Structure 1
């Protein structure tokens, strides 16, 4: 499933990366969210491969509604909602099929990922260094489930959402929470976790995740709105974990350390942009002790 709104060159590269897969067991659905430039859509309509389907919204619905539509229109046992600026290496589909066959009870598969910049060159940012730090080590493939999984991705969300393969029936039965525009991937992963389905982590690199300033998560991070959403999300998750009896996960959610560090690293960019309100939001998220010290009566 490929929601699209953005640059034509990145979009074409993303689509071509699916067409170039070594394993033919795939179907591609392009959902054009009323991109202002109709040229990419016109190009997509000319693709003759019967496995490629294209539809265009009459008006822009936004990221969350389009993600939910992607789930609803999916049909396969395994579903990927990947970015219109990301790239699947030629062995992505084959590797996911292999991992799924080896782990039939999995709810999510996270294959190996490398980071590229806007020009497709290898990239390494502070955010990605932090993700690598929180990403579980050890021999791969590695299986995480239950509170161990909840603690791992709540303490530091090391996942690269567009690379994830979701167990289709499970993800479709849950759906994306409608109120989120940035953390909807983490919310869905935690909901899958609560259903008892494990996550499989692999190290074989089969996906290229593009990190650049034009992404939704990047500009929402600079103006601080990303972290307002994250703070509310982690508060709610801390309460939910406590009610489940997952005390370690509740502490990780209340502390949300990696989210705080990420906010602190964005302050210089906000100041350079002259966004004082955004800077205050970032500083509050990074250094407020209210959430970190809050205790729930049942904890």
Structure 2
């Protein structure tokens, strides 16, 4: 079973090479890698990739920068296999990812998407456990073995604290095409997609196997936007929409979780001391508004 590994590229060339090398090193060779370069100013990473001469690897360079959601949608258009992942260009696959994911797909053929175990690494490549990932670990359902989740309980769990790691997820292509990516969102577009899938009757398989290394560093989109408060403006708009959608589905407990979005507000609270220390008035205003919920 071929798994398409879609890699939107705009970032550090050295980390990009390590990401690609982790794909090439898969113990199961049944994969296809498509790198979609979002008009990165330096063309040498693309030249290096083409120079590998691997027939399983394709390279596409956008004529203009499409942004996060736009490039994700472009990647989705290029998916050919039944299953795919949108891997970060600074993340790393463990060698068993493709093989283990393929066996999970055969075991759960009706599942909509698959979340493997994840090791978080810093900019230096070493394992790390910053606060956001400690929260994710707390929020993740406690399962010693592979399990399948769905319905309001899954929606409530993700709204309480999104414990999934978007770049590590293996998706069923026809399900994602049914909903697509909401271009109004950047930081929470993965959670918005998951809620649509779950509302539509889809299910998530959670694997305990650590198959992916997710890079957490200050230069990421989510970290940067958290600093100036734009992340929380987006999250506030998202949770307001999610609350309405959950109520419409008759999932009133999930709607209450969306209304209070406590983990998001607590995250904003952790950013407030730095904003106060630097007397960032715009940041203080945006963070305070999110924390108190108005």
Band of TM-score, shorter chain: over 0.9
Q: Structure 2 residue aligned with 1:185, among 174, 190, 198?
A: 190
Aligned 1:216-231 pairs, distance under 5 A: 216-231=221-236
Which residue pairs with 2:10 in the alignment? 5
Q: Structure 2 residue aligned with 1:151, among 124, 138, 156?
A: 156
Which residue pairs with 1:295 in the alignment? none
**Partner-residue secondary structure (3-state), 2:271:** helix
**Partner-residue secondary structure (3-state), 1:203:** strand
Aligned 1:111-190 pairs, distance under 5 A: 111-190=116-195
Give the whole-Å Cα distance in 1 for the aligned partners of 2:253 and 2:265.
Answer: 18
Which residue pairs with 1:296 in the alignment? none
Which residue pairs with 2:91 in the alignment? 86
Q: Structure 2 residue aligned with 1:96, among 76, 93, 101?
A: 101
Which residue pairs with 2:204 in the alignment? 199
Check conservation: 1:30, 1:54, Cα contact below 8 A.
yes
**Partner-residue secondary structure (3-state), 1:196:** coil
Which residue pairs with 1:243 in the alignment? 248
Which residue pairs with 2:292 in the alignment? 287
After TM superposition, give the deviation of residue 271 of structure 1 in Å: 3.7
How many residues of Structure 1 are paired with residues of Structure 2 in the alignment? 289
What runs of 5+ residues in structure 2 fail to find an aligned partner?
A: 1-5
**Partner-residue secondary structure (3-state), 1:54:** strand
Task: Note the aligned Cα RMSD (angstroms).
Answer: 1.1
**Partner-residue secondary structure (3-state), 1:76:** coil
Residues 143-169 of structure 1: CA deviation (Å, up to 9, x unaligned): 110111111111111111100011111
After TM superposition, give the deviation of residue 264 of structure 1 in Å: 0.9
TM-score (norm 2): 0.96
After TM superposition, give the deviation of residue 128 of structure 1 in Å: 0.5
What runs of 5+ residues in structure 1 fail to find an aligned partner?
A: 291-299
Matched, 1:258 2:260: no
Give the whole-Å Cα distance in 2 for the aligned partners of 1:198 and 1:119.
Answer: 35
Give the whole-Å Cα distance in 2 for the aligned partners of 1:28 and 1:22.
Answer: 15
Residues 89-130 of structure 1: CA deviation (Å, up to 9, x unaligned): 100111111111111111010001000000100111011001
Residues 13-53 of structure 1: CA deviation (Å, up to 9, x unaligned): 01111000001111000000011122211111212110100
Which residue pairs with 2:36 in the alignment? 31
TM-score (norm 1): 0.94
